[in-house]
Amino acid sequence: MGNIVEGLVPARLGTGFRWLLASSWTSNLGDGIAVAAGPLLVASLTGNAFLVSLAALLRWAPPLVFGLYAGVLSDRLDRRRIVMAADGFRAVVLVALVALMVTDRLTVALALAALGLLTTAEVFADNAAATLTPMLVHRDDLAIANARITAGFLTVNQLVGPPIGAALFAAGLAWPFVAEAVLVGAGVLLVTRLVLPKQETPAAQTRTGAWHAVLEGLRWTVRHPAVRTLSLTILIFNVTFGAAWSVLVLYASQRLGLGAVGFGLLSTVSAVGGLLGTGMYGWLTCRVSLGNVMRAGLIIETLTHLALAVTTSAWVASAIFFVFGAHAFIWGTTSITVRQRAVPTHLQGRVGSVNTISVFGGLVVGSVIGGVLATRVGVTAPFWFAFAGSAVFVALLWRELTRIAHADEQHDPATA
C-alpha cells in the first residue's frame, strides 16, 4: 500500500500536498455528483426549457461575474481559510436544499437560487485552492503535483461522479445532494490539516481598493510576455473550442447518428483519454520540453476540429475524442504549471482569475459563434471555423510557444 501511495503522491511533494490532494479529490467527487443531479433536479420541477437551460447558465456565469474579485481575496486573505469558508458555505446551502426537498417546499426558483449559490461559492474555493499548490510544492515538482490534481478531477468529477449522481437521484431526489454535502464537508476537514508558509501580502496592496487590486493583476499579466501570451492562447482556443463543442449534441445525432447514450459515451471516451495522459505525463515531460508539449498539443487540437468536420463515423469520432482527452489533460496541466512558476506568490490569485476569465469568456463567445454558424450553414460549420481559426493562431504563435514555457520564469515586470 505504501508503494502505491509513494508512486501516486511521492513523499517529496510533502504531507501538506497530500492533504490538499485528498481534499481536492473528495470535493471533486461531490461536484461530479452534482453535475448530473443539478440539471435533473430542475428538470423534475419544471418542463420549461428556458428554466432548465438556466441550470446550465448558472454553471458558467459565476466565474465570469466573480472570478476577478475571487482573485483579489485570494491574494489578500488567508487562502486556506477562504477554501474552508467557501466550501463550508456550500455544505450549508446543500443541507438547506435537502431540507426543502424533504419538507416538499422546494420550488424551481429556490432550486436555481441554490445552484447559483453553490457555483458562486465554488469560484472562490477553486481560485484560492489553485494558489495553495505552489505554496506547498517546490517549483520543479509543480508539473507532477498539478497532474495528480487534474487526474482526480478527471476520474471522480468526470467519470465516477455523474453516474453516481444519476443513480442516487433515481433512488431519491435528495440523496445526491446529501452525498455532496457530506463530501464537501469532508473536504473542508481535510483542508484544516494544511500548514502553509506565511503568506506575505505587500502593505500597499491591503490599502488599495478591490478595483485597483484587480487592475494590478491585469497590468502584471499584460506586462509579462509569457503569461500574457498564455492567457491570449487560452482565450482564442476556447473561442474555437466553444464554437465546435457548443453544437456537439447536434453533431453527434445529425452527423454521427448517435442517441443520448452514444453522446454520453463520447464524453466518457474523452475522460478515459485524459487518464492516459495522467499515466504518461511524468514520462513525457522528462523527455519533451514544455514548449514542445504545448506546440504538439495545439496541433492536435487543430487537427481534432478538422477530423471531426470531415468524418461521419462514430468509431472514428470516438478515437478522435480519446486522443483529444489525453491532449486536453496534458496541455491544461502544462499551462497551469507554467503560470504557477512564473507568477509571484502575492499575485497568484489575481493572475489565476484572469486565466478563468479567458477560459469562460472564450467559451461564451465561441458558443454564440457556433450557434449562429450551425443555424445558418450547417452542423459542421463550427468545426470548420474552429479548424481555420486554430490553424491561423498556431502559425502566428509558433515561435512564442517555447517562450511561454521557458522564458523569464522569474521575471517580474513590475521591477523591470
Above 70 in pLDDT, residue 53?
A: no
Predicted local confidence at residue 47, as pLDDT: 76
CA-based nearest residue to 352, from 68, 122, 40? 68
Residue with cell 452525498: 179
Query: What predicted TM-score, i.e. pTM, was given to this entire model?
Result: 0.74
Give, to the nearest 10 degrees, the angle between helix 175-191 and helix 79-102.
160
Residue with cell 446543500: 94
Helix (H, G, I), strand (E, B) or coil at 9: coil
Predicted local confidence at residue 247, as pLDDT: 81
Instruction: For 96-131, write each residue's pLDDT tens digit.
Output: 999 999 999 999 999 999 999 999 999 999 999 989
Return the C-alpha cell found at 83.
477554501
Above 50 in pLDDT, residue 411?
A: no
Work out the average pLDDT over 359-372. 84
Q: How far is CA 14 from CA 98, 123, 125, 139, 300, in A?
A: 37, 26, 22, 13, 34
Of 20-34, 68-82, 282-296, least confident by mean pLDDT is 282-296
172 φψ region: left (φ > 0), alpha (ψ -120 to 50), beta (else): left
Side-chain half-sphere exposure of 22, counting CA atoms within 13 A: 16
Helix (H, G, I), strand (E, B) or coil at 408: coil
The alpha carbon dihedral of 192, 193, 194, 197 has a sign of: positive
Report the alpha-carbon distance of residue 339 to residue 355 in Å, rounded: 9
Residue 47: exposed, middle, or buried by beta-carbon count in 10 A (0-12, 13-18, 19+)?
A: exposed
Is 185:26 a contact under the CB 8 Å cutoff? Answer: no
CA 354 remoteness from chain centre: 13
Of 29-38, 54-63, 313-322, 373-382, least confident by mean pLDDT is 54-63
Give, to the nearest 10 degrees, the angle between helix 108-130 and helix 15-45.
160
Report the alpha-carbon distance of residue 240 to residue 246 in Å, rounded: 10
Residue 228: exposed, middle, or buried by beta-carbon count in 10 A (0-12, 13-18, 19+)?
A: middle
Residue with cell 480519446: 322
Report the alpha-carbon distance of residue 26 to residue 182 in Å, rounded: 10
Above 50 in pLDDT, residue 412?
A: no
pLDDT bucket at 231, cuts 50 / 70 / 90? confident
Instruction: For 254-278, write each residue's pLDDT tens digit.
Output: 899 887 667 767 877 888 888 888 7
Instruction: For 192-207, write each residue's pLDDT tens digit.
Output: 998 888 766 554 555 5
Above 60 in pLDDT, residue 135?
A: yes
